[in-house]
Amino acid sequence: MTRRIDIDRSLDRRAFLGTLALGASALAAPGAFAEELTRTPRQTEGPFYPDKLPLDTDNDLIIVNDNLTAAVGEIAHLSGRLLDQNGEPLRNALIEIWQCDNNGVYIHSRDRDRGGKLDGNFQGFGRFLTGSTGEYYFRTIKPVSYPGRTPHIHVKVRLAGKELLTTQFYIKGHAQNPRDGVYRGIRDPKARDSVTLDFLPVEGSKIGELAARGDIVIGLTPEG
């Protein structure tokens, strides 16, 4: 049976953004882990980190500024927590995500040269400052493939002005994963599983929204 994610249908869009983020924080408490967690694997930044950031860089990527037209694609709510290897939450860290639009085009000048038509209603990049329990939340679209790559979302973590990690999130069970060189480069099965996410239907959504959860574990020791 397909698992589903429940939401309160009475919430408006802005309230839902905050509620989902707070809900993620309740899933675990600081120091709740008996052993060191699997660290999120480092992955390539790729060539298309935005060369010019959009004017709107909030955590809602499907609505640019106050536009009424949403981005094309399957709406996906991406949430999780930022933790150290002992399970302690990291607050006031900046989480950045970026990804191509539903046409497979990034908000990068070189990528537009490939001839794809950019969805002007997709923000393509977003930021979120983690809270007291390390939670983060984005509303975006389910990632799509483009020539040479399986669907993925790029993720970067910064804390106190220092870049701590760059990685990528993938879709669990996607047929292209085994053929993707970057994905295959993660040799540790546990590390690979940590960035391979279930995109599950949101209960009660009339527009087919999805939700995915991906905790990020940072090594803060010298070797991490």
Average of per-residue pLDDT across 6-29: 45
- Residue 26's pLDDT is what? 44
Residue 34 pLDDT level (bands cut at 50, 70, 90): low
- Residue 125's pLDDT is what? 98
Average of per-residue pLDDT across 131-144: 97
Residue 7 CA: distances (Å) to CA of 81, 82, 100: 19, 23, 27
Give the residue with greater pLDDT, 7 vs 133: 133
Domain boundaries, the chain: 5-218
The dihedral of CA 212, 46, 119, 66: what is its sign?
positive
Q: Assign domain 5-218 to a CATH class.
A: mainly beta
Question: In angstroms, rounded to a whole number, what is the distance separating the alpha carbons of residues 175 and 178?
Answer: 7
- Which tens digit of pLDDT belongs to each residue from 195-217? 999 999 999 999 999 999 999 99
Residue 36 has pLDDT above 60, yes or no: yes
- Residue 11's pLDDT is what? 37
- Residue 115's pLDDT is what? 59
Average pLDDT, the chain: 86
Q: Confirm if 174 and 151 have CB atoms less than 8 A apart.
A: yes
Average of per-residue pLDDT across 55-63: 96
Residue 32 has pLDDT above 70, yes or no: no
Cα angle value 165/213/107 (rounded, 5°) = 60
Average of per-residue pLDDT across 172-186: 98
- Residue 13's pLDDT is what? 47
- Its pTM stands at 0.84
Half-sphere exposure of 151 (CA within 13 A, CB side): 19
- Which tens digit of pLDDT belongs to each residue from 60-117? 999 999 888 999 999 999 999 999 999 999 999 999 999 999 999 999 988 865 556 8
